[in-house]
A and B are shown apart, each in its own frame.
Chain A
């Protein structure tokens, strides 16, 4: 392939220029991969922090305070939704209570359920920071902030005034940290029997049936499908209740795309201008080669090959630099780690190549059109 050989020699004859443009592509692709992966990971981290340990779809009775029945129909509808992570389906009963410690008191919302099922969403066992995760009939697990506020340790006994006026004593088995101070301070987990007794509900009646979905952003679609199949049941989902967070995530995504787009435009302009200059610098050589019989197509392909060589090398180098930056980021102490998706890395490298090829269009056309007589007469 003579065009490749000539392209390689032309690049080699102006090493500084070649190195600059390859460096430019590498930096551009590295920024593209780094920024893209950073934003994606940051978004995933934010979503996980916000709803990773919270119900994403909740079934309740439309009438506040009334129980929803976990009927076979409800089970069937839930099982029929492939997006729902079945291991996270947890029916819970809630009861309000008041904790008093001498002069200070605080309301505590009791979430009652089976520990194994609660783990599906709340990951209680995993997030127990003190004591152990255990929910016997007289056990309670309290949040880290509540425990600190009232100086309570695992093994302590606490007395709670339950709704309806009764009072009951519970043994603190564990202290959890679900990442939210508000949750840690106001919510506690008890055995499902406790609120059932307080509320006087049957064994199939629950305050809510909570669950998570495989793809959090599919929650609206899944909820809509469930609503149509479960008339008389209130189906709520996290996106409708976290509109602000969604707007923030979307804005972050948009700004990331804008940055990436401008980086690509900068790369394209850089390669295009360098190739255009190179084409002008090599006009004489191209003219002579054409005078010797090199066809327009093969002459044009010289700069196409140059673009492929520079785009390919720059993209590969960019991927390497991006991984180096990501490695460096892992030491930054950020609360989340960046995990670049291989498909995004390939896409970025592919875009780098495509941009390089697109940048070669003008010099390729100019070279293709060059008439050798212009060079010969020019002397």
Chain B
């Protein structure tokens, strides 16, 4: 029986006040099991990125709460929330957001360097493993700026996997990639999920891409309008 990793409980997000207030999220609730491979789909401006940012503890809900393995991060101080984010969550953004001042290896190792808990040899081993998994062997010493778009995104994925997170949150991870690279990335996600047991929550506006995942959560105007599983539902 899969354990519950994440609970989104009645999430509301309001921007502005009074007459100018905009509801970006209204009462969204769902649960995600450990190792689940899911996607969030919706039109542009539907609130899916807002939801992902709240799940990633980058944004705070106006009402409702997010629980990770039963802990409410809102009850923690900022430093503890940062630590939780570093340990549990990996991010892949639409724009790769690599650090141009650092090499490919350093970019991948960065989450572990931030955590500061692993010995250097293990950091090196893990980074090499993540780079190998994503077919980036031999690029370790290159500068992030010397890579192609597809390579950069794969480096960003390797970085997100570095701390072996419980969940990888990806916001339009293939938005800037061609079809070949898009397929490559989704195949990789699937492989990584099954090999590492990492849960995936992928935001996309492309239904055909979403259909490659086991579960589709559809957001329209800030509401969760559909929660469909293509495979058997994990028994929570």
Contacts and interface: CB of A to CB of B under 8 A. Distances in A.
Are these two chains actual partners, yes or no?
A: yes
Which of the listed residues A5, A288, A293, A379 has the most CB atoms from chain B within 10 Å of its own CB?
Answer: A293
Chain A: interface residue count, which band? 20 to 34
A373 B101 contact: no
Given A2-B113, A291-B85, A372-B58, A285 B78 contact: no
A341 to B, nearest CB: 41
B58 A2 contact: no
Contact of B53 (A10, A292, A298, A376): A376
Interface in A293-308: 293-298
A13 B99 CA distance: 11
Given A291-B91, A373-B59, A296 B78 contact: yes
B63 interface: no
Contact of B114 (A13, A293, A297): A293
A295 B99 CA distance: 17
B140 interface: no
A295 B101 contact: no
A295 B82 contact: yes
Nearest to B52: A376
A289 interface: yes
A376 B79 contact: no
Contacts of A379: 94-95
A285 B101 contact: yes
Given A2-B116, A373-B58, A379-B95, A293 B101 contact: no
A376 B85 CA distance: 15
B78 A293 contact: no
B115 interface: yes
A95 to B, nearest CB: 84
Interface in B79-134: 79, 82-83, 85-87, 91, 93-95, 97, 99-102, 110-111, 113-116
Nearest to B86: A293
A290 interface: yes
A289 B114 contact: yes
A6 B91 CA distance: 20
A293 B83 contact: yes
Contacts of A167: none
Interface in B131-187: 159
A296 B82 CA distance: 9
A293 B115 contact: yes
A66 B79 CA distance: 85
Nearest to B156: A288
B58 A293 contact: no
Contacts of A288: 97, 99
Nearest to A284: B97
Contacts of A290: 82
A269 B99 CA distance: 29
Interface string A163-180: 000000000000000000
A56 B94 CA distance: 82
Contacts of A293: 82-83, 85-87, 111, 114-115
A302 B115 CA distance: 16
A13 B100 contact: yes
Contacts of A73: none
B101 A292 contact: no
A372 B87 CA distance: 17
Contacts of B110: 289, 292
Contact of A295 (B56, B79, B93, B97): B79
A248 to B, nearest CB: 55
Contacts of A12: 101
A278 to B, nearest CB: 12
A9 B102 contact: yes
Contacts of B100: 13, 285
Which of the listed residues A5, A291, A294 has the most CB atoms from chain B within 10 Å of its own CB?
Answer: A291
Nearest to B110: A292
A361 B195 CA distance: 46
Contacts of B94: 379
B102 A292 contact: no
A295 B80 CA distance: 9
Contacts of B87: 293
Contact of A292 (B59, B78, B95, B111): B111
A377 B82 CA distance: 18
Which of the listed residues A5, A292, A377 has the most CB atoms from chain B within 10 Å of its own CB?
Answer: A292
A244 to B, nearest CB: 61
Contacts of B159: 292
Nearest to B78: A296
Contact of A294 (B53, B91, B114): B114
Contacts of A289: 99, 110, 114
Interface of A: 2, 5-6, 9-10, 12-13, 284-285, 288-298, 372-373, 376-377, 379
Given A291-B91, A293-B111, A293-B114, 17 more contacts: A5-B113, A6-B101, A9-B102, A10-B101, A285-B99, A291-B58, A291-B85, A292-B86, A292-B91, A292-B110, A292-B159, A293-B83, A293-B86, A293-B115, A296-B79, A298-B114, A377-B49
8 contacts: A2-B116, A9-B101, A291-B56, A294-B86, A295-B78, A296-B78, A373-B59, A379-B94
A-B CB proximity, top 5 nearest: A293-B86, A9-B101, A13-B101, A288-B97, A373-B58
